[in-house]
């Protein structure tokens, strides 16, 4: 408490005492016990009121005990069931939940994980992927630097995400892996990896690479067979032994017919082989008879060029070449699309060729654009030349209807820079992204599309899109979403079909462990996105003829339905907008492959390394009681006594108000009783 406040309190006491003495002693002719009591009560009342006016502040310290957290993350993937560890896992969880001493010492939190992390309710062991990495990411964010040992109940086999052994280093707490499975090594042949492009081109050959692995000591012979349907298309005899435990087989297969073709790669199993599931891998290739070549024309070096090229070529059906305007004249017939990057006076011949060939264009504008020249070279849009530049962020137009655009969190992307002022277009346009400045959305488009004389075009009015690709990677740990966004613009420019009110986005085939998600957009008669549409999908298995109808769910700017639970097979579907009976049909294939059934053993060495590097310890499921004992005895996980210090003003003390009320009422009662009122 400050010295000034103490002086105020002393002064308040003197004044309160003086007033009380003046009223009951100074004016009174006789001094009795009653007058002394009334003087005291009046002093208490006045002093308490003065204290409330001064309102001094006091430090209030509260002590409490904080138990350490104990996180239990349980592998809920199919491999646990395949290794026959279901019951052992449930028994261990029951042990932890019912152990009184453990629950007294720790705050236990239970989670399950497969591809994602969820609060543990029930274990189903049906997750198609295993990603232990996400456990360390999310637990480290939630619990920070608090004492939080982690018990990881898993077989240690990972099928998805970054290597968890390295990612776990960011988690600065002891990790105790509980290993599900054993160390017994069985004789086994396995197709460890199969590499093949998703697309091939008609009348070409596509490469296939197969890595086959053998686990055993004896010399063995097998045969690799690749078949299409019931017809073998490739065979090769392979020999393995303890020294030569892996083989790489590289081959090419012909692409003689267009469409989706499925193949099966198989290693003939050994007579005493326990797991034959991992001897087989199915794969598919879509044979296309056309490849889109995109010319990226620029007269300068800029990181945007590389970002666009990488995004376009992420799809095997497309190829991009960065060329100068002078080179395009002789190569124009080789390209189906053109990206014009910040045109200047050297683009005059380029625009002449584009007018003759009627090639669709994607124009990217920025601070190096020569607007005086560009306004003369084309008539689609004009810009007032100010030679002033502005940074613009973006906002997604939910009513864009030419193709499905997923929101990549555009509003948080870095700004793009371009000429200050709006572009003026000579024909109607469809805006994908609007400009925003300081969080205020302008009516000016940042990214748009339009059609003139059956020719499609797109315009991005800003340079620096390479930052968007980098930001997308930081957000998603992948370039996939950004590359898909650019790919949709290229796909739009690759077709001159009329726009539809119902658009459906899907893949021709899906791997067995992929998420099978179909997206759709529906627009009203004014081509505005309808967020109240009633969309359904009818899915039919071509072989079994079994059908089911599922509703689409609204997700931001489109509708989605998750079909990940469907078994492998060929499917046809029809999407129906029930309100207006608008239909869209298609077909897709789901390949038969379960990555979780590829393992015979727990990955013991990796889990032991994980425990050692985090100063924890690894235990097998049969030693679960030893794990509990170590957690109870480990002095690093002691309960901490902590304190909180609060500054409490006197006006918050309710008993002081009660004291004032009590002293006033007592004074009034005594005076009344003694006839002084």
Whether residue 313 has pLDDT greater than 70: yes
Do 125 and 194 belong to one domain? no
Q: Express each pLDDT in 158-192 by its tens digit.
A: 888 888 888 888 888 999 999 998 767 778 898 98
Mean pLDDT of the 269-293 span = 85
Query: Are the C-beta atoms of residues 611 and 177 closer than 8 Å to each other?
Result: yes
Calpha distance 388→405 (Å, rounded)? 31
Cα 647 to the center of its chain, rounded Å: 42
Do 298 and 434 belong to one domain? yes
Q: For the chain, give the number of residues.
A: 677
pLDDT of residue 260: 85
Picking from 493, 522, 546, the residue at the C-terminal end of a domain is 493
Do 350 and 474 belong to one domain? yes
C-alpha torsion sign, points 225, 230, 232, 233: negative
Do 337 and 477 belong to one domain? yes
Calpha distance 12→480 (Å, rounded)? 73
Residue 643 inside a domain? The answer is no
Q: Would you state the structure tokens that stand for residue 254, as one six-digit string? A: 């012909």
Stretch among 180-189, 220-229, 621-630 having the lowest mean pLDDT: 180-189
Mean pLDDT score across all residues of the chain: 87
pLDDT of residue 27: 67
Residue 104 inside a domain? The answer is yes
Residue whose entry in the numeric block shows the structure tokens 């590289």: 250
Residue 644 inside a domain? The answer is no
Do 372 and 321 belong to one domain? yes
Q: Which residues are within 8 A (CB) of 504 and not within 5 positions of it... i.e. 6 or more apart?
A: 518, 519, 520, 575, 584, 586
Residue 451 inside a domain? The answer is yes
Whether residue 439 has pLDDT greater than 70: yes
Picking from 241, 271, 288, the residue at the C-terminal end of a domain is 288
Mean pLDDT of the 512-538 span = 83
Q: Which of 223-237, 377-391, 578-592 reaches the highest mean pLDDT? A: 223-237
Picking from 437, 469, 493, the residue at the C-terminal end of a domain is 493
Residue 610 inside a domain? The answer is yes
pLDDT of residue 526: 64
Do 312 and 404 belong to one domain? yes
Do 563 and 523 belong to one domain? yes
Whether residue 380 has pLDDT greater than 80: yes
Torsion of CA 501, 506, 508, 512, to 10 degrees: -160
Whether residue 407 has pLDDT greater than 90: no
Whichever domain contains 166, its CATH number is: 3.40.50.410
Q: Express each pLDDT in 447-464 by its tens digit.
A: 999 988 778 999 999 999
Q: Would you state the structure tokens that stand for residue 547, as one six-digit string? A: 């059908």
pLDDT of residue 479: 92
Residue 161, Ramachandran bin (φ over 0: left; ψ between -120 and 50: alpha; else beta):
left
The pLDDT confidence band at residue 325, using thresholds 50, 70 and 90, is very high
Do 326 and 449 belong to one domain? yes
Query: Are the C-beta atoms of residues 594 and 127 closer than 8 Å to each other?
Result: no
Indicate yes or no: pTM above 0.75. no
Structural domain for 273, as ranges: 188-288
Q: Name the residue with higher pLDDT: 305 or 277.
A: 305
Q: Would you state the structure tokens that stand for residue 245, as one six-digit string? A: 């435990």
Calpha distance 108→101 (Å, rounded)? 12
pLDDT of residue 79: 86
Question: Which class for 309: exposed (0-12), middle (13-18), buried (19 or more C-beta within 10 A)?
Answer: middle
Stretch among 430-444, 466-480, 497-511 having the lowest mean pLDDT: 497-511
Mean pLDDT of the 338-347 span = 93
Torsion of CA 410, 413, 419, 424, to 10 degrees: 0
Say how many domains are in the chain. 5
Do 443 and 345 belong to one domain? yes
Q: Name the residue with higher pLDDT: 4 or 458.
A: 458
Please choose, from the candidates 242, 289, 285, the residue with its C-alpha nearest in 3D space to the C-alpha of residue 265.
285
Query: Are the C-beta atoms of residues 559 and 586 closer than 8 Å to each other?
Result: no
Residue 63 inside a domain? The answer is no
Residue 528 inside a domain? The answer is yes
Q: Would you state the structure tokens that stand for residue 627, as one six-digit string? A: 């794990």
Q: Name the residue with higher pLDDT: 645 or 551.
A: 551
Q: Express each pLDDT in 18-42 by its tens digit.
A: 888 887 777 666 677 888 888 888 8
Residue 62 inside a domain? The answer is no
Do 177 and 216 belong to one domain? no
Whichever domain contains 200, its CATH number is: 2.60.40.10
pLDDT of residue 203: 80
Whichever domain contains 465, its CATH number is: 3.40.50
Do 528 and 561 belong to one domain? yes
Do 300 and 355 belong to one domain? yes
Q: Express each pLDDT in 526-573 by its tens digit.
A: 667 888 889 999 999 998 999 999 999 998 778 999 988 788 888 999
């Amino acid at each position: 408490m400050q010295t000034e406040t103490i002086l105020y309190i002393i002064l308040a006491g003197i004044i309160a005492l003086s007033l009380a003495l003046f009223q009951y002693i100074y004016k009174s002719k006789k001094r009795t016990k009653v007058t002394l009591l009334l003087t005291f009560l009046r002093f208490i009342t006045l002093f308490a009121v003065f204290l409330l006016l001064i309102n001094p502040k006091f430090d209030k310290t509260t002590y409490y005990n904080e138990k350490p957290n104990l996180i239990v993350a349980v592998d809920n993937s199919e491999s646990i069931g395949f290794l026959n560890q279901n019951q052992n896992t449930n028994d261990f969880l029951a042990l932890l939940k019912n152990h009184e001493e453990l629950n007294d010492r720790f705050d236990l939190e239970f989670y399950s994980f497969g591809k994602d992390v969820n609060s543990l309710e029930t274990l189903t062991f049906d997750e198609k992927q295993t990603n232990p990495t996400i456990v360390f990411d999310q637990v480290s964010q939630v619990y920070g630097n608090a004492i939080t040992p982690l018990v990881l109940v898993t077989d240690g086999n990972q099928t998805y995400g970054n290597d968890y052994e390295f990612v776990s280093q960011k988690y600065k707490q002891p990790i105790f892996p509980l290993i599900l499975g054993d160390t017994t090594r069985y004789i086994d042949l396995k197709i460890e990896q199969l590499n093949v492009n998703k697309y091939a081109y008609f009348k070409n050959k596509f490469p296939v690479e197969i890595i086959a692995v053998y686990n055993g000591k004896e010399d063995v012979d097998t045969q690799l067979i690749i078949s299409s349907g019931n017809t073998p298309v490739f065979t090769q005899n392979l020999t393995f032994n303890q020294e030569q435990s892996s083989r790489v087989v590289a081959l090419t297969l012909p692409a003689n017919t267009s469409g989706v073709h499925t193949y099966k790669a198989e290693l003939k199993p050994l007579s005493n082989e326990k797991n034959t599931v991992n001897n087989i891998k199915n794969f598919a290739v879509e044979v296309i008879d056309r490849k889109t070549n995109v010319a990226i024309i620029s007269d300068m070096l800029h990181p945007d060029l590389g970002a666009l090229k990488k995004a376009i070529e992420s799809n095997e059906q497309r190829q991009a070449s960065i060329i100068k305007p002078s080179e395009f004249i002789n190569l124009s017939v080789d390209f189906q699309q053109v990206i014009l990057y910040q045109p200047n006076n050297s683009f005059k011949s380029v625009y002449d060729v584009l007018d003759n060939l009627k090639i669709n264009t994607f124009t990217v504008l920025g601070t190096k654009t020569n607007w005086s020249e560009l306004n003369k070279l084309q008539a689609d849009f004009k810009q007032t030349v100010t030679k002033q530049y502005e940074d613009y962020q973006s906002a997604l137009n939910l009513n864009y209807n030419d193709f499905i655009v997923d929101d990549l969190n555009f509003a948080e992307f870095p700004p793009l820079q371009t000429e200050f002022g709006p572009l003026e277009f000579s024909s109607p346009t469809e805006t994908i992204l609007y400009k925003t400045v300081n969080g205020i959305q302008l009516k000016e488009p940042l990214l748009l599309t339009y059609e003139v004389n059956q020719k499609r075009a797109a315009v991005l009015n800003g340079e620096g899109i390479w930052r968007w690709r980098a930001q997308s990677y930081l957000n998603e740990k992948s370039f996939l979403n950004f590359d898909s966004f650019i790919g949709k613009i290229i796909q739009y420019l690759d077709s001159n079909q009329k726009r539809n009110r119902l658009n459906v986005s899907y893949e021709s085939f899906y791997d067995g462990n992929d998420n099978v998600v179909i997206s759709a957009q529906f627009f009203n008669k004014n081509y505005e996105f309808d967020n109240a549409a009633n969309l359904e999908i009818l899915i039919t298995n071509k072989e079994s003829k079994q059908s089911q109808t599922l509703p689409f769910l609204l997700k931001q700017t489109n509708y989605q339905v998750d079909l990940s639970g469907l078994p492998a097979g060929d499917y046809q579907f029809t999407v129906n907008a029930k309100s207006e009976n608008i239909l869209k049909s298609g077909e897709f294939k789901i390949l038969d492959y379960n990555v979780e059934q590829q393992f015979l053993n727990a990955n013991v060495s990796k889990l032991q390394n994980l425990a050692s590097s985090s100063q924890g310890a690894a235990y097998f499921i049969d030693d679960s009681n030893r794990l509990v004992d170590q957690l109870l005895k480990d002095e690093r996980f002691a309960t901490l006594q902590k304190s909180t210090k609060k500054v409490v003003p006197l006006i918050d003390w309710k008993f002081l108000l009660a004291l004032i009320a009590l002293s006033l009422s007592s004074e009034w009662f005594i005076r009344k009783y003694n006839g002084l009122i």
